[in-house]
Structure 1
Amino acid sequence: MIDLHCHLDLYPDPHWVASECISRKLYVLSVTTVPSAFEGTARLAPTNSRIRTALGLHPELAATRARELPLFERLLPRTRYVGEVGLDGSREHRATLDAQRGVFSDVLRLCARAGGKILSIHSRGASTMVLDTLSSNPRAGRAVLHWYVAAAKQVARAAEMGCWFSVGPSMFLSDRGRAAIAAMPKDRIVPESDGPFGMIGGRPAFPWEAWMVVTGLGELWEESQQVVAAQLRSNLASLSQDWP
């Protein structure tokens, strides 16, 4: 099973969730929201586990935590993964978009200088702006667009740019979400839970529940769950050779 975007450190009992991920042999990308959370979050993942910790600076916090960019730069050599980063153009955060864009551009520049990273990218209310910023920084690495609910034309543009997509179970609950998933290349989709923010049945999703997307993708693609599961495992291997 695979979860390419969750916030392990933000569960009420992160040590229990991490332990469950390890016992279930789950492939997990544990994203962070600020650089100062990276070291503590990384301690949740033993070196012989399948959990990888990403270095993040969330767009909702970018304006107030831009001072952590020097720390981000210092920590960057310690991981192949960056996230959660990106832009948020929703009503609550639109006023800080200029500051967000500056931070996101700096993050992409640092990733390019480091030889490229695998990035988990937030784009709520800013789909086009995220793609524009990525296109200006083509050497930043492989972009995995997290929860990318956008029009088919934007999904096609992202795919043409080489972007990947992480898809959560809740995306299948809306026509817009299903349409976005249907437009994504099958060989560039990976599961995500976005837990504990992603919800299932009115409560926070756990990382192992990201695998529920197998059912939704099977219905959308008109394929068996075995075929879908094999495709997702192949996708992970293509995205990164870093997991044992």
Structure 2
Amino acid sequence: MQWLDSHYHFDFIKDSNARYLFLQELVKEEITIVAQTVTPSGFSLLKQSLDKLNLKPGQTPYLSLGFHPWWIESKSQADKELAIFRKELTKSQLIGEVGLDFSVKGLEKAQENLQVYVFSEILKALTDHTEQRFILSIHAVRSASKVLDLLEEVGAPSDKILPILHRFNGTSDELTRHRDMGGYLSVHPSMLKSKKGRAYLQQMSGDHLLLESDLPDGPQDEWEAEEVEQRVKDLKEMLNQTVDKLSSIRQENMAELILKTQNRLYY
């Protein structure tokens, strides 16, 4: 079964040989990843590095153009990155990781008004490309209401802008609003472990749920070949277990629904 991990930080794998081996193992295990990036310049570098690997058709991950709120440093840095974002926008219909983080940690990284400025500019850029459809993977920590407000301001969700809330941990009312707007949710295994998370997974429509791992946890300098192989096997097991547990929680065949949703959005 060809699972799609809608939120994987492939750029955190720093070694080019490990990247190549990882992609080979993904093909063997029939896994597709959406490679989220945290800055537009990082997206550009990742794209260039993949070109150098001379990959065969079907081996290249789906690249997602992002600007994570933790990586916003200043207004001047943000404007430089946003310029790159606009330039690269014609090369990716996948957008992420983007969003807002109003937690203490998030606000230490970038003030609320600067985060809102960046996310607003990203959404405005998307609306300038009416010929493209964009799928967004959104970080919304203690900020889901504001995220939804900004999406509504640009007429999203729509057939051109499809938002996925990643590792959602907001309120039930916020999730209901997102659901009723037509948004999607990516399911991280951590959601299955809490009563609130399980309730949220029943609150959404089954055909608006996707899988995610949010791995690796941070930058990885070197992976040996055996470790790469094991990490991909572990990823496949995680995705399979998530589907099985989700099916049990919702009392329906989630494998079939998730496969249809993957195909509708990504293939």
Which TM-score band applies after superposition, normalised by the shorter structure?
Answer: 0.7 to 0.9
TM-score with structure 2 setting the length: 0.80
Residues 6 and 207, structure 1, Cα contact 8 Å, conserved in 2:
no
Equivalent position of 2:247 in the other structure? 218
Letter in 2 for 1:16: L
1:123 maps to which of 128, 140, 150: 140
Equivalent position of 2:11 in the other structure? 9
TM-score with structure 1 setting the length: 0.87
- Partners in 1 of 2:65 and 2:135 — Cα distance? 10
Report the count of equivalent residues. Answer: 233
| Superposition pairs of residues 1-244 of structure 1, within 5 angstroms | 1-11=3-13, 13-42=18-47, 43-44=49-50, 46=55, 48-49=57-58, 51-64=61-74, 65-66=77-78, 67-94=80-107, 96-115=111-130, 116-138=133-155, 141-197=161-217, 207-208=235-236, 209-223=238-252, 227-240=253-266, 243=267
Between 1 and 2, higher relative CO (CA 8 Å, sep ≥ 6) is seen in 2
SS at match of 1:87: strand
The RMSD of aligned alpha carbons is 2.2
- Identify unmatched segments of 5+ residues in structure 1: 199-203
Displacement of 1:161: 1.2
Residues 141 and 170, structure 2, Cα contact 8 Å, conserved in 1:
no
- Partners in 2 of 1:47 and 1:231 — Cα distance? 29
Deviation digits for residues 68-103 of structure 1 (CA, Å, limit 9, x no counterpart): 110111011011111000000111122511101000
- Identify unmatched segments of 5+ residues in structure 2: 219-230
Equivalent position of 1:201 in the other structure? none
SS at match of 1:37: helix
CA pair 207-55 structure 1, distance change in 2 beyond 3 A:
farther
Farther-moved stretch of structure 1 (83-92 vs 124-133):
124-133
Displacement of 1:20: 1.8
CA pair 207-7 structure 1, distance change in 2 beyond 3 A:
farther
Letter in 2 for 1:234: K
Residues 150 and 180, structure 1, Cα contact 8 Å, conserved in 2:
no
- Partners in 1 of 2:176 and 2:69 — Cα distance? 24
Farther-moved stretch of structure 1 (73-82 vs 48-57):
48-57
Q: Which has the larger radius of gyration?
A: 2
- Partners in 1 of 2:104 and 2:163 — Cα distance? 25
Letter in 2 for 1:129: K
Letter in 2 for 1:229: A
